Amino acid sequence: MVVSMIQMIFEIPGAGTIKDKRRIVKSVKDKLQRRFRMSAAEVDLHDSLSFAQIGGAVVSNSRSFGESVLQKAFAMIEKEIPVRIQDVSIHSEDF
């Protein structure tokens, strides 16, 4: 079993309230879960108004498959979500 994980830190320009931030974070998590059948959660930076950290995971039997799904998920966020990516890391672990 291979668990592939992604961690993203992004800036949310124009988020004037915590409600604005939550709306965008929820949109990101919902799209990741629906389109890519992956687990996703806001894992840090909860108190920040303009930054968010999202973590996601895919379980598969292939490192290359899991990481390709996460690369596609990252590309979707860059293309469709109005955020500025500050940091992203993808890695896999065998169990």
Overall pTM surpassing 0.85 (yes/no): no
Tens of pLDDT, residue by residue over 35-81, are 999 999 999 888 888 899 999 999 999 999 999 999 999 999 989 88
Cα→Cα distances 18→15, 49, 66, 74, 77, Å:
7, 6, 32, 24, 20
Number of structural domains found in the chain? 1
CATH number of the domain that residue 77 is part of: 3.30.70.1120
What is the C-alpha separation between 90 and 28, in angstroms, rounded?
17
The boundaries of the domain holding residue 76 are 2-94
Tens of pLDDT, residue by residue over 5-31, are 999 998 988 878 888 889 889 999 999
Q: Give just the sign of the alpha carbon dihedral 79, 82, 88, 91.
A: negative
